[in-house]
Each structure stands twice: as C-alpha cells, then as structure tokens.
C-alpha cells in the first residue's frame, strides 16, 4: 500500500486539484485508490450532513466508494482556520479521530491512499499541535504542491526545509500553474529544480484539467 500526504506552499494553491489528478493517475495505472481529508473548514449542509467541497472531490475521484464522513471525519462550516472554527464550536480537533479515520481507509486495503492536508504544512490544530505532527506520527512520505505565483520560491523552500526538519521524506514536488501568464515562469521552475532536494514530479499547466501528458507523468509516481 502506497501512502502519501499532500501539502501545499500555502492555502489556495490547488492541493485538491492536484490530489484529484493523482487519484486519476493511479486509477489509470490500474490501482485502487482512496483520498482522505482528515480536517476541513468550509462546507454546506446536505441531507443533515456537513459536506466540504474538497472532501467531496476526493470521494468522487477515489475508486473505492466510502461515505463523506469516512473521507472527511472532522469538518467545520466556516471557511476559516480549523482550530479557530473548533474553538467557536467549543470543541477540539481530536487526533484519535484522525487516526481512526485513516485506519478505516487502510482496512479497505487500497493500493494507494492520498491524504490531503489543509492550508500549508504547519497548520495549527489546537493545543499547541500541528497537522504536521500527525504526519510525523504516521511517518508518511510527502508530496508538495507548489502554487506557481509570486512568492512561491520562498514558500516552497521553507516548506521543504520544515518537512526535512520533521524527519520526513519529500517524495517530490508538483508545479501547479495558477494563472496563464506568470512572469518568468520557466525561470521560477528552474530555480526550484536547482534548490529543492527532491524531484519535480509534474508541471500542471493552467486550465488543462485531465491532461493525458500530466496523467502520464503522475502515474510514474505509483510505478
């Protein structure tokens, strides 16, 4: 069973978009898949159940069918930092719930589990803890989504340093082009290739969902 944690250089850099791509690539290679969103913030109530759009995307992209509460066991309605949403609801983010959730997914025995984080690497979850602490406990390899925009070099390098300092392996990074005209795009890519101590796994062009070329690049991760 291959298991990867998907983090990003910041919020709104396309973690879910890339995670969906990765699940599609694994499925195209004939592998069974499950996506997991342990903590989410921002959702709507559907049939008396809070549904986060990112979690729904992972659910729909997985080859094994599970309920939204299994894919996303901890969900908050306000689109704000999860630990603040928890405080507003007079509750806490329970690590045991997160652990139990991934163990349920493992019990399905998929070939691939992708865990999508929230925000960036060092996401607070309350009581002095971070979501990265959970990933450290799992000893899970990490895939970094680099949102290609001004500032991404600093964010990518600092995130990679933090992952390494936590004793985890950065499996590689994926460049996600957030707009069609980023200035000096290729020079930024080359700088990341030079300074990041992990391979570039794919370069996802702006506005090309489902690109066969990208799917082929990403499928190699699972080979």
List residues with catalytic annotation.
Answer: 37
CA separation for the pair 78, 66 (Å, rounded): 24
DSSP helix/strand/coil, 31: coil
Closest CA to 188 of 149, 131, 218, 132: 149
Q: Look-up: residue for tokens 């690497």?
A: 121
Nearest to 121 by CA among 129, 112, 132: 132
Cβ atoms of residues 36 and 6 within 8 Å: no
Strand locations in 9-48, DSSP E? 33-36, 39-41, 44-46
Distance CA 222, CA 138 (A): 19
Q: Can you tell me the distance from the alpha carbon of 59 to that of 84, in angstroms, rounded to the nearest whole number?
A: 25
- Ramachandran assignment for 12, one of left (phi > 0), alpha (psi -120 to 50 degrees), beta (any other): left
Query: With contact defined as beta carbons under 8 Å apart, do 24 and 161 qualify?
Result: no
């Amino acid at each position: 069973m291959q298991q990867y944690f998907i983090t990003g250089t910041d919020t709104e850099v396309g973690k879910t978009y890339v995670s969906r791509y990765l699940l599609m690539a694994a499925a195209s290679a004939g592998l069974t898949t499950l996506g997991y969103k342990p903590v989410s913030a921002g959702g709507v109530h559907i049939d008396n159940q809070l549904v986060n759009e990112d979690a729904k995307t992972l659910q729909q992209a997985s080859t094994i069918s599970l309920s939204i509460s299994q894919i996303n066991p901890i969900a908050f309605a306000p689109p704000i930092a999860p630990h603040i949403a928890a405080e507003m609801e007079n509750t806490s983010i329970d690590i045991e719930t997160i652990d139990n959730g991934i163990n349920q997914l493992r019990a399905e025995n998929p070939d691939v589990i992708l865990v999508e984080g929230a925000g960036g690497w060092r996401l607070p979850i309350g009581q002095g803890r971070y979501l990265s602490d959970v990933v450290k406990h799992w000893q899970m390899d990490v895939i970094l989504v680099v949102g290609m925009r001004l500032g991404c070099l600093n964010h990518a390098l600092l995130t990679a340093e933090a992952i390494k300092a936590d004793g985890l392996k950065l499996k590689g990074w994926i460049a996600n082009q957030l707009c069609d005209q980023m200035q000096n795009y290729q020079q930024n890519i080359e700088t990341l290739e030079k300074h990041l101590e992990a391979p570039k796994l794919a370069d996802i062009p702006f506005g090309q969902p489902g690109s066969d070329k990208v799917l082929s690049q990403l499928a190699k991760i699972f080979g």
